[in-house]
Structure 1
Amino acid sequence: MIKNFLTVRSLSNLLDMSEQTTYKLARQGIIPGRVKVGKSVRFNREIVMDWLQKGGVNNDSQN
């Protein structure tokens, strides 16, 4: 089950951006699937991959 979640580092590598930017976009709600586990942050892989397949657009986006 642990493989169903991405670390900030692995998501940052996937998106080719810094970990700081990944944290920022997740806090702003731009990157979906954020899960807090204690002090750690993980991302639901299925939600993130679905979001990417849709072009990285939030469901509530007007674009």
Structure 2
Amino acid sequence: MDKEFLNVRSLASLLDMSEQTAYKLLREGIIPGRVKVGKSVRFNKEVVLEWLQNGGVTIDCKD
């Protein structure tokens, strides 16, 4: 199964927040599933959705 990755804009939309807030949470290391692609950052959608289902708490996160 192919994994789906989100850019910051898509992540912010999924989380219903501004891109600025998403970048802040990224810098603080709060959102799991981060993958660096060159200078860009992507998020593993499956990991982010699991994180949300756990109430925003990272439990044995597999980046």
Q: Which consecutive segments of 4 or more residues in structure 1 shift more than 6 A?
A: none
Unaligned residue ranges in structure 1 (runs of 5+): none
The TM-score, its normalising length taken from structure 2, stands at 0.81
Write out per-residue CA displacement over residues 20-39 of structure 1, whole angstroms, 9 at most, x where no aligned residue: 11011022111111111111
* Counterpart Cα distance in 1 of 2:39 and 2:52: 26
Percentage of identical aligned residues: 75
Higher helix share: 1
The TM-score, its normalising length taken from structure 1, stands at 0.81
Supply the RMSD in Å over aligned alpha carbons.
Answer: 1.7
Kindly state the Cα deviation for residue 59 of structure 1 after the two structures are TM-superposed: 3.1
Q: Aligned residues, how many?
A: 59
